[in-house]
Amino acid sequence: MTSQTSDEKKVKLWDFPVRLFHWALVIAIVTAWWTNQQVMIDIHAIAGYSVLALVIFRIIWGFVGSSNARFTSFLTGPNKVFGYASKIPNGSMEDLTYAGHNPAGGWMVVVLILLVGMQAFSGLFASEDTFLFFDGPLVAYVSSDFANLMNWIHHTNINLIYGAVGLHVFAALFYLVVKRENLIGAMVTGARKVPSELTDRFANIRFASPVLGIGILAVCGALVWIGVTLARG
């Protein structure tokens, strides 16, 4: 097999708010998981509120953010998803390179956001009443049936998160090791190296103002904080 060696060019792919969201989410989820292991429920709750604020921000950014952060840009129908997935094993980079999430990865992004959002939301109604005696901030406002359901979801959904995050990290490492495409570096720096003949695909990304993104994130954080404080009375 001969492949024409082509120049590579650096292109900008992810805006700052998307990258901040991603790595802050990773830190908050790991902190929530770790503090549960260490029985540090107060920090567990703070990490969970942070996840909630981040998820609300990302949903808003999915409508008003940079063009490749918008849900409409990366959620496609089943034909495209399966067409793309069938090309993963042997497809060339020309087949597999998107100026955003690819059709299969796009749906995975939604699954991850929904799962972690559900975990944080259900935590608001979760309780531990054997030795920590901790109630989530909204427990007092709902029926015990609903609180029990949310408690069950909180303890069950985490297993789906383990599965989805495992698959997600496996996919990122698969691209790095097998396909030799560093998507992880792009999520850190925002830039990605692509063959020069593919740079056109990245030329049409419209980047939204990062200040707007950080402003929206700050408002989401403040609203969650105020909501929790008011609920606690």
Our finding on whether 172 is near ligand HEM (CB under 6 A) is yes
* Cβ 1 to ligand HEM shortest distance, Å: 26
Site string for ligand HEM, 78-117 (x = CB under 6 A): -----------------------x---x---x--xx--x-
Our finding on whether 54 is near ligand HEM (CB under 6 A) is no
For 119, what's the count of Cα atoms within 13 Å in the CB-facing half-sphere?
Answer: 27
| Closer CB to ligand HEM, 9 or 182, in the complex | 182
Q: 111: which 2 tokens?
A: 């699954």
**Which of 64, 167, 178, 184 forms a contact with ligand HEM (CB under 6 A)?**
184
The angle at the Cα of 63, spanning 58 to 67, to the nearest 5 degrees, equals 100
Site string for ligand HEM, 126-155 (x = CB under 6 A): xxx-----x-x-----------------xx
* Cβ 38 to ligand HEM shortest distance, Å: 11
Our finding on whether 178 is near ligand HEM (CB under 6 A) is no
Which of the ranges 87-95, 140-148, 168-176, 216-224 carries the binding residues for ligand HEM, by CB under 6 A? 168-176
**Which of 56, 57, 58, 99 forms a contact with ligand HEM (CB under 6 A)?**
58
Our finding on whether 48 is near ligand HEM (CB under 6 A) is yes
Q: Pick out residues in 60-79 that bind ligand HEM (CB under 6 A).
A: 69
